[in-house]
Structure 1
Amino acid sequence: MAPAELDRERVEPMQESRWFARTVQKQVCANYLLFLPPGYGDDRSRRWPLILFLHGAGERGSDLSLVKRHGLPKLLDERPGDFPFIVVSPQCPDGEVWDVDVLLALLDEVCETHAVDRDRIYVTGLSMGGMGTFALALAAPERFAAAAPVCGWGNPLQVRPEHARVPFWVFHGELDDKVPAALSAQMVAALQAVGAPVRYTVYPGVGHDAWTPTYANAELYQWFLAHRRSGEPAAGPV
């Protein structure tokens, strides 16, 4: 090869910006608690609202009884009453955080195998589960009718105009020294900036345990039932 040809083929050393996209598949699995409301199955044409509950970091592992320590699973274990929701409470493995792909696959599984009203699916969680609630609602806003993160956090830079379709009710303890309330306030401000309907409750004098008053509050569940994925107010019997 002539020297002139070598000169033409010489590449100057540099870093180029490039982008690629590829679809990948992975197997996912999860342990979870499933609560079916009283009367489930009596009317095979009836579809039920569903709450996906995400626990905190202390309940990770492979022992599902840990998931009943706090929040909605604890409440259902102690006094299920006539709670009118299907409730799905997965367990995050040790050393991991909530995986959006796993949670969406679990929702698909439950929706395919149970009488779920897909226009009334809600997500809530506490602490690490509050983070998971923000992450899941931002990753798949088209899937949820409403979201209620409790003492959680998120990335305000991930909030986009399409998230305005999801109503949020955010809860935090004023004196939380594990997850500062300022982190919830940042997410509230970012959501409000894109036009999302947001309620924000700060419990005066309360530390990290914002979940006990939140999940004991019947108004939360009434608020869930007042919202549908379509954005139209819920109508008719639950």
Structure 2
Amino acid sequence: MTPLARRHEVVEGEPVPADVLPYLLHLPEDYDADPARAWPLVLFLHGAGERGSDLEAVTRHGIPGLAEEGREFPFVVASPQCPASSQWVPEVTTLAGLLDEVEAEYRIDPSRIHVTGLSMGGYATWSLAVRYPERFAAVAPVCGGLWMQRPDPMRDVPVWAFHGEEDEAVPIGRSEEIVARLEELGADVRFTRYPGVGHDSWTRTYDNPALYDWLLSHRRTDRTGRN
């Protein structure tokens, strides 16, 4: 992918506005080849260990790490960093604003916006889909869960969830209960369980090309909801 681009870079010694998140942006290698082409967007949300003000920390795991190593992806990747004093779920409104900004500044296909994240980012992936179900073509939460929310509003959003069966940090039951509810609602939901795997269910997940094929196979259509 193109060299790493930094947006809203944190400047040491200067306060960061509450409604601004620093983020890394990766563009496909041929992004500039066709000025008329609109691209899918994947929002990647890191785990708790990557919070802070060092954007390079965001590349430790998952899609931004693979992109830094030279792996090519046929979509734009936006990878924000959560402040050290916060968590992703309270930042969902700010994340929605970040998506607005990326859509406005880059050639993004609004019908092909996806979100995925691990651990703390997995929680936020679920929460974003619950809060803004009309916005996402598909979501892929990894070892996450929901706090004080029901998944019902996202019943029309395709989901592929991942979790290690031996996860002690975020028990697999957190994903199981959401998936079970979505299945009751007739949702399009897949669930991959990793036997013998602990909290790190993200390495296998993001190394799997099938995940990206699955994400890109979905487009958001006008969803009026069901009663």
TM-score normalized with structure 2 length: 0.87
Give the unaligned 5+ runs of structure 2: 1-16
Instruction: Please list, as runs of the form range in 1=range in 2, the aligned pairs for 1:132-151 lying within 5 A after superposition.
Output: 132-151=124-143
CA RMSD of aligned residues (A): 1.6
Number of the residue aligned with 1:92:
82
- Alpha-carbon separation, structure 2, partners of 1:186 and 1:155: 12
Q: Does 1:226 align with 2:217?
A: yes
Q: Does 1:196 align with 2:193?
A: no
TM-score normalized with structure 1 length: 0.83
Find 1:153's aligned residue among 145, 158, 163.
Answer: 145
**Higher CA-based Rg:** 1
Find 1:61's aligned residue among 52, 60, 63.
Answer: 52
Encode CA deviations 1:76-128: one digit per residue, 9 max, x unaligned: 111323x1010000000002111111100000000001000110000000000
User: Which sits farther off after the overlay, 70-79 or 49-58?
Assistant: 70-79
Q: Is the CA contact (8 Å cut-off) linking 1:165 and 1:231 kept in structure 2? A: no
Give the unaligned 5+ runs of structure 1: 1-25, 233-238
Q: Is the CA contact (8 Å cut-off) linking 2:134 and 2:222 kept in structure 1? A: no
Find 1:104's aligned residue among 96, 99, 102.
Answer: 96
The 3-state SS of whatever aligns with 1:88 is strand
The 3-state SS of whatever aligns with 2:155 is helix
Number of the residue aligned with 1:129:
121
Number of the residue aligned with 1:206:
197
Number of the residue aligned with 2:13:
none
The 3-state SS of whatever aligns with 1:158 is coil
Aligned residues: 205
* TM-aligned CA deviation for residue 41 of structure 1: 1.7
Query: Structure 2: which amino acid aligns with 1:33?
Result: L
Find 2:37's aligned residue among 46, 71, 85.
Answer: 46
